[in-house]
Structure 1
Amino acid sequence: MDRGTHTTATALIDAVRERTTAARVAEAAAFVAVGDWATAHTSDEVVGDPITVLGEWHEESYAETLAGDQFLELGGPGAPVVAEFCIGEIAAARGCSFDAARRLVGDAIELRYRLPRVHARVAAGEVDVWRGRRIARSTRTLTFEAAGFADRHVAYVAHKATTGDIDRLVAEAAARFDPETTEAERAEADGGRHLTIELGDVGYADPLTGCLRGTVDVHGTLDLADALDLDRTVAHVARQLVDLGCDQDLDVRRSIALGEIARRCDGISTLEYDVDQPPTQPPTPTRTRREVVLFVHLDQAAITGTLNGFGPGIDACTGMTGIDLARLDTPGAPRGVVMVEQVQAWCNAPDTKVTVKPVIDLNQHDAVNGYTPPDGIADHVRARWPRCVFPYCTRSSRTADLDHCRAYDDNGPPGQTSTTNLFPLCRRHHRMKTHREMTTGNKWTYRPTHRDNGEPPNALIWTSPTGLRYLVDRDGTRPWPPTTT
């Protein structure tokens, strides 16, 4: 490497170091600002005191499920409680989900009020924000005195402490200051046991084969006795599947058996024997029908099997396949893409009753005079808006409330409950839209966009209690300019 090249390389690496330092300082400043915002929305109450709820009821039936702004316990004992609705502003400003913003605010409160030494080093840029937040998540269950002990012992090494170091220190603090609880938890809990069903990965490409799987991964850690019982049951049902004509290998039959066991425990005995057979003959297992409801969105070409006269699944313009995919939208299951052949296999299974909801034409609109929308209108709205329409929210509309954008008026005109006036809001964001903030006294509001104003079609514009605006459409959320006068 000659001198000129060496000088250029040094300048480049210096630029990396400078920008990394600047980014760390900026992130620390943003984290401190989040804590300042949260502190401005705290109460004199602390974690452990009775929690105040402040709101307004629009209907008596909403009293328990649609409460107004309330204080949340986001830090450990001794930390102040924080008004819930203020977190919505943080989520929108950072472009993240409400849950992510709540975790961020909780970490900021934990550090500021229970770990002041670590917080000071984070604010000074001496400790990365992610390291400070990792410590805050570990100490939240400690008593106030134990958190102070952890703060004193970890602050000076917070910039390099490993997860193991922090966990050992937290365990020591808990044992020192709350030995009774520590012993009770040790005796009663076995935190290593879990069972995870990776529903979020359904339909995505297998990293090894690149194929659309239509399957999910299941893994866990069980008590030994439970594991032995489960293994015996799975092996037994897998043998029964052979009698039913299943010619798959043992691993596949064991995976199928787990589904059979789940349906049996759900009150549907899917493998039964014919009790009328003579006792001299071996019993023959039979199946009872199971029921599955599918919301499947298919391209018209996938239904007909052709595209512009070309062969099945072939695009006339690109010559590529791609119409043989189905987009699943089933209540209780994640969205995903699977092969049409997978749907056909489900539909052709002789032991399965499949209900496919009718295709909805989103270009047609409907309305009724009552307050509660019928299933057809509800399905239309949820198909048009697959997610909660609050800025940056990613919750599925299948489990969301349907909100009247223009408030429903019992004495108003007919047709107020319509596909153009209903929008899905998850329960938390429905509450934030319905009730006022404690501090500003304002609400989140939204309205559909207007072409006459030069606004994008098929979108919503939200205004926060502080006056910031966000545009939401099917592609996501982005900040929107303030209203001009």
Structure 2
Amino acid sequence: MDRGTHTTATALIDAVRERTAAARVAEAAAFVAVGDWASAHTSDAVVGDPLTTLGEWDAEALTGDQFLELGGPGAPVVAEFCISEIAAARGCSFDAARRLVGDAVELRYRLPRVHARMAAGEVDVWRGRRVAQATRSLTFEGAGFVDRHIAYVAGKATGPEVDRLVAEAAARFDPETTEAERHEADGDRYLTIDLGDLGYADPLTGTLRGTVNVHGSLDLADALDLERSIAHVARQLGDLGCDPNLDIRRSMALGEMARRCEGVATLEYDVKKPTRARREVVLFVHLDQAAITGTLNGVGPGIDACTGMTGIDLARLDTPGAPRGAVTVEQVQSWCGSPDTTITIRPIIDLTTEDAVNGYAPPDRIADHVRARWPRCVFPYCTRSSRTADLDHCDAYEQHGALGQTSTRNLFPLCRRHHRMKTHREMATGKRWVYRPTAPNNGEPPHALIWTSPLGLRYLVDHDGTRPWPSEPGREPDAT
């Protein structure tokens, strides 16, 4: 490497170091600002003290709000609705903002030494948050013990080191709980069925599998019983000529056991007289022009314009309690092909049409229409499914108002938390989150919503997500 090249390389690395340091300082400053915001929305009550009560100002100024215990014992409680401002400002979900605020409160009030090093840019925010998440269950004295012992090495302490120190603090300052937990082996048991997303075989090919993962930790006796039952049913399936692969039969055995169980605790297996619970398949069918006419983008009958392949052979799952994603039509056929399967089809033919009724509660056809048009809660950055959300009247429903107020044009899905927040005022000024459909005639994007926060900040929500939106002409966001 010649001298000129060396100088250029050094300059590049120096730039990386400088920008990394600047990013660390900026992230720490943003985290401290989150803590300042949370501190401005706390109550006199603290976590773990039943004698403290909410002040008169809190009860009057935060109608419909509630206070959350986000930190450990001794930390103040925080107003729930203030978290949504953080979520909108950072462009994240409410749950992510809630975790962030909880970590900020924990560090600010129970780990002041670690917090001070973070604020000075000496400790990465993610490391400080890792400590805060580990100490949340400790007593106030236990958290102080951890803070004293880890603050000077917080910039390099590993996760296991933090966990060992937290365990020592728990044993020192809360020995009764520690001893009780030692005898509670039940706390280590869990069973998880990953229904969040469908599996894909290869990230390069994207081959659809239509499977989900199951994992857990069981009591030994339960595990032995489950193993015997799975092995027994797998042998039954083999005797009946099912797939010769034992692993596949074992996975199928769990489904057979679930259907034979019929909701009772006792499982009985009899090859001659199997008992099966009826499977119910509810299909939300989304039909567009391609499905109706058999063409796609005018290319030809059943031709995919992107791949050039024939056949429209994928289905999109959009059913509560089921994993979301694409599956092959053949797999849907296999689900529905059994004679003991009950099939319910709910068609949504054309989402461009409008429908309305005169009553307050929408019928199923309108509710399904709205939820298909808006698959997620329409609050900024919220990711909760509309299938379990409330349907909110954008223009408030008036008992003796005009006809047709409950319509596909006036209803939008809001998850329960954001529905409550939109309904109840947040600040002493009486301002609240409000939203309206966009006006394309005024140059705004079509098929979108514009939300305005109590501080006057605006966000545009459409099918591509959420993004900040300019303030109304002639109005600046509130400085408060």
Alignment partner, residue 3 of structure 1 = 3
Structure-2 separation of matches of 1:309 and 1:443: 47
Structure-2 separation of matches of 1:372 and 1:428: 20
Q: How much has 1:346 moved relative to structure 2?
A: 1.8
Residues 216 and 318 (structure 1), Cα distance of their counterparts in 2 relative to 1, 3 Å cut: closer
Q: Which is further off, 92-101 or 39-48?
A: 39-48
Alignment partner, residue 279 of structure 1 = none
Structure-2 separation of matches of 1:453 and 1:152: 59
Decide which of 305, 321, 331 is 1:342's aligned counterpart.
Answer: 331
Taking the TM superposition and a 5 Å limit, the aligned residue runs for 1:289-438 are: 289-297=278-286, 301=290, 313-315=302-304, 319-320=308-309, 323-438=312-427
CA contact (8 A) 1:74 1:106 kept: yes
What are the Cα deviations for residues 186-223 of structure 1, in whole angstroms up to 9, with x where unaligned?
Answer: 11244432222121231545448631111111112211
One-letter amino acid of the counterpart of residue 163, structure 2: D
Structure-2 separation of matches of 1:316 and 1:469: 37
Alignment partner, residue 24 of structure 2 = 24
CA contact (8 A) 1:142 1:174 kept: yes
Alignment partner, residue 217 of structure 1 = 213
Percent identity, aligned pairs only, is 81
Structure-2 separation of matches of 1:448 and 1:312: 37
Q: How much has 1:310 moved relative to structure 2?
A: 8.0
Alignment partner, residue 267 of structure 1 = 263
**Matching of residue 258 in structure 1 with residue 254 in structure 2:** yes
**Matching of residue 159 in structure 1 with residue 148 in structure 2:** no
1:201 alignment partner, SS class? coil
2:375 alignment partner, SS class? coil
TM-score (norm 2): 0.91
Structure-1 separation of matches of 2:11 and 2:450: 45
Decide which of 119, 130, 133 is 1:134's aligned counterpart.
Answer: 130
What are the Cα deviations for residues 61-111 of structure 1, in whole angstroms up to 9, with x where unaligned?
Answer: xxxxxx811111100111011111000000000000000000000100100
Residues 2 and 113 (structure 1), Cα distance of their counterparts in 2 relative to 1, 3 Å cut: same
Q: How much has 1:334 moved relative to structure 2?
A: 3.0
One-letter amino acid of the counterpart of residue 388, structure 1: C
CA contact (8 A) 2:287 2:349 kept: no
**Matching of residue 176 in structure 1 with residue 172 in structure 2:** yes
Q: How much has 1:301 moved relative to structure 2?
A: 4.3
What are the Cα deviations for residues 273-319 of structure 1, in whole angstroms up to 9, with x where unaligned?
Answer: 89xxxxxxx83546563222122435554577665898875336762
Decide which of 210, 225, 228 is 2:224's aligned counterpart.
Answer: 228
Structure-2 separation of matches of 1:382 and 1:72: 30
Structure-1 separation of matches of 2:110 and 2:272: 67
Alignment partner, residue 477 of structure 2 = none
One-letter amino acid of the counterpart of residue 479, structure 1: P
Alignment partner, residue 191 of structure 2 = 195
Structure-2 separation of matches of 1:232 and 1:133: 44
Q: How much has 1:12 moved relative to structure 2?
A: 0.5
Structure 1: gaps spanning 5 or more residues: 58-66, 275-281
One-letter amino acid of the counterpart of residue 411, structure 2: L
Q: How much has 1:231 moved relative to structure 2?
A: 1.0
CA contact (8 A) 1:268 1:290 kept: no
TM-score (norm 1): 0.90
CA contact (8 A) 1:298 1:326 kept: no
Alignment partner, residue 456 of structure 2 = 467
One-letter amino acid of the counterpart of residue 139, structure 1: T
Residues 187 and 429 (structure 1), Cα distance of their counterparts in 2 relative to 1, 3 Å cut: same
Structure-1 separation of matches of 2:458 and 2:228: 58
One-letter amino acid of the counterpart of residue 144, structure 1: F
CA contact (8 A) 1:297 1:359 kept: yes
Q: How much has 1:123 moved relative to structure 2?
A: 0.1
Q: How many residues align?
A: 469
Structure 2: gaps spanning 5 or more residues: 475-480
Structure-2 separation of matches of 1:317 and 1:401: 36
Residues 259 and 312 (structure 1), Cα distance of their counterparts in 2 relative to 1, 3 Å cut: farther
Alignment partner, residue 82 of structure 1 = 78
CA contact (8 A) 1:55 1:68 kept: no
2:71 alignment partner, SS class? coil
Structure-2 separation of matches of 1:244 and 1:54: 67
Residues 386 and 295 (structure 1), Cα distance of their counterparts in 2 relative to 1, 3 Å cut: same
Structure-1 separation of matches of 2:276 and 2:135: 52
Residues 317 and 288 (structure 1), Cα distance of their counterparts in 2 relative to 1, 3 Å cut: closer
Structure-2 separation of matches of 1:376 and 1:272: 41
Structure-1 separation of matches of 2:183 and 2:306: 67
One-letter amino acid of the counterpart of residue 64, structure 2: G
One-letter amino acid of the counterpart of residue 399, structure 1: T
Alignment partner, residue 111 of structure 1 = 107
Structure-1 separation of matches of 2:297 and 2:144: 71
CA contact (8 A) 1:372 1:417 kept: yes
